[in-house]
Amino acid sequence: MYIYDQRDHTLLKERVVQFQRQTQNFLDGELSEEEFLPLRLQNGLYIQRLAPMLRIAVPYGMLSSTQVRALAHITRHYDKGYCHVTTRQNIQLNWPKLEEVPEILTELSGVSMHAIQTSGNCIRNVTSDAFAGVADDEIEDPRPYCELVRQWSTLHPEFAFLPRKFKIAINGSQQDRVAMKFHDIGLQLVNDIDGDLGFQVYVGGGMGRTPVVGQEIKEFLPQRYLLSYLCAIVRTYNRLGRRDNKYKARIKILVKAMGIEKFRELVDEEWCLIRDSYSPLTDVDINAAKSFFSKPNYHAQLQVRRAEIQDNKQPNGNPDALAELNPAFSKWLQRNVRGHQHGDFSAVTLSLKPTGVAPGDITAAQLETLATLAEQFSFGELRTTHEQNVVLADVLREDLFDLWVTANKAGFATPNIDTLTDIVCCPGGDFCALANAKSLPIADAIQKKFDDMDYVYDLGELSLNISGCMNACAHHHVSDIGVLGVDKKGEEFYQIMLGGNDGRDQAAIGKVLGPASGRDEIPAVIEKILDVFVEHRHEHESFGQVYRRIGLNRFKERVYA
């Protein structure tokens, strides 16, 4: 993964000093609340319902064991002993003290971490595929490009006061696993007919109260122009995006209002004028970025492990043989383990969604276990996923059983990845000041109702996302089943949406099923929806396929019968 150099360290140190001053000026009354607001937001600090919330950046989800241990310490020392993995791969502390935030930032900077631009009207943390670099359908590892964009966008002097927040995602595989078309800019790595690498560029996607599927603005952008083209898009947006109404200030509204053709024309006009003066990404730059993401030494790991087996120091961990003897391990192997570019290795998703725990929440002790597991089994690195789980990307297949045993004890081995109970959920009304309704109790009630794992498996891959308000942090518009908390005269109700897709199959925005239901009714409503699916599905059909075939009405008729 990327290793900080002197420049990164200096910048971080100076940022901490700057924020210390800003916090002090605010506490001394020199900065008003209104003036301090954008400054603290650009350091990831929100004021929430009960306490401040600090959002820590995890660039494209990559973490080292050392960083995870530091997070465990911070979580224990400055918070209540747990933190939360967000749907943009970041980590949130829910109970830090404002006065201690500069201290937390100092601790973070010690392990090359920060909270820069995790909030505010600026370019946010760039997100990517948790299986980057190991996915078997990969065109190119997106992480070097993520890192180049991270550096370019970090403290970018021109883009710190945009009309609204700005999110970029980069996908490097055939399958879109980053919800590319629901970002302000989505970048798909592609080869052109000559085999040259570049990007297909999407713009103007988003969720929130006006969900929009992003449109292609450039079919093929040679990689050397990546940063000048991004600059041209963000500059055009910064000049022309609406600033009179925060609900109409995202780039999606601008693109929609003027049309993609006109927007493309303006961006191209700007880009043509700057692309030659704007320092292009040279092969040297790109190769330097790539050098941080070279493949781990799979061969050496393999040799060591095989020698241990030969010397009988370790049992032969053939996962397939062990799976035959152990049904629970077999389930886990099927659901939580996926293929890898190297045939002797697997990528493992550790579930942060056992029943009874808020989706994405993780304790300090669990963080320490994670750090150890990563060291023991995955070259000391791990990734957070935008579905709020954790991935160990490089696990030797013979180690899978040992990993499972430890992960199971630590509560990470719930075999529910990509199933109904792998619920994506925002912190909701329990924590968030923006929320209209609670989301966590809904997740809990659904997990409790559908506790029969055989039934859950039988449903196949199915996404269920719950947002506590229309800001859509849990991406409820793009899941098979979306639940949205709404407030009706002070009472919490929940609206159901069906048929959304984040781009894994085909990007689509879910449709509202009908009138909202009360909190207690939701599990039963979900059950009816699932019944319709099960009754209509043909063999191997997924929920999304059935929905697209039979349409919304069949579900509606049953739920509101």
Binding site for other proteins (CB under 8 A): 7, 10-11, 14-15, 18, 22, 30-31, 35, 38-39, 121, 151-152, 154-163, 235, 238-239, 243, 270, 273-274, 277-279
In the complex with other proteins, the residue whose CB is nearer, 156 or 305, is: 156
| Residues facing 82 on adjacent strands | 363
Q: What is the C-alpha to C-alpha distance for residues 408 and 425, in angstroms, rounded to an integer?
A: 23
CA 541 to chain centre: 27
Q: Give the number of other CB atoms < 10 A from CB of residue 232.
A: 22
> By C-beta, is 36 or 457 nearer to other proteins?
36
Pick the closer one to other proteins by CB: 227 or 496: 227
d(CA 304, CA 534): 47
Toward other proteins, which CB reaches closer, 219 or 269?
A: 269
Task: Indicate the residue among 152 and 457 with the shorter CB distance to other proteins.
Answer: 152
Count CB neighbours of 107 within 10 A.
Answer: 18
Q: For other proteins, which is the closer residue by CB, 270 or 398? A: 270
The residue among 190 and 286 lying less far from other proteins, judged by its C-beta, is 286
Cα atoms found within 13 Å of the Cα of residue 123, Cβ hemisphere only = 25
Residue 260 CB-half CA count within 13 A: 12
At 406, list the tokens. Answer: 């430890």
Q: How far is the CB of 157 from other proteins (least distance, A)?
A: 4
**Closer residue to other proteins, CB minimum distance, 269 or 458:** 269
Q: What share of the chain is helix, strand, coil (3-state, %, to 5)?
A: 45, 20, 40
CB of 294 to other proteins, least distance (A): 22
CB 253 → other proteins: shortest distance, Å? 16
Given a contact cutoff of 8 angstroms between Cβ atoms, the answer to whether 137 and 179 are in contact is no
Report in angstroms how near the CB of residue 21 gets to other proteins at its nearest. Answer: 8
Q: How far is the CB of 472 from other proteins (least distance, A)?
A: 23
d(CA 16, CA 460): 47
- Give whichever of 122 and 370 is closer to other proteins, judged by the CB atom: 122
Nearest to 187 by CA among 223, 151, 154: 223
Q: What are phi and psi of 312, to 5 degrees?
A: 60, 20
- Using alpha carbons only, give the angle 432, 436, 442 rounded to the nearest 5 degrees: 85
Q: Tokens for 31, please give them.
A: 């900065």
CB of 30 to other proteins, least distance (A): 8
Beta bridge partners of 56: 91
C-beta closer to other proteins: residue 255 or 390: 255
Closest contact distance (angstroms) between CB of 256 and other proteins is 20
Under 8 Å CB-to-CB from 443, ≥6 apart: which residues? 358, 359, 423, 425, 466
Half-sphere exposure of 354 (CA within 13 A, CB side): 10
Neighbours of 334 (CB within 10 A): 13
**Nearest distance in Å: CB 335, other proteins:** 40
From the CB of 234, what's the least distance to other proteins, in Å? 8
Residue 277 tokens read as 């003066």
CA distance 490 to 106: 41
Least CB distance to other proteins at residue 96 (A): 21
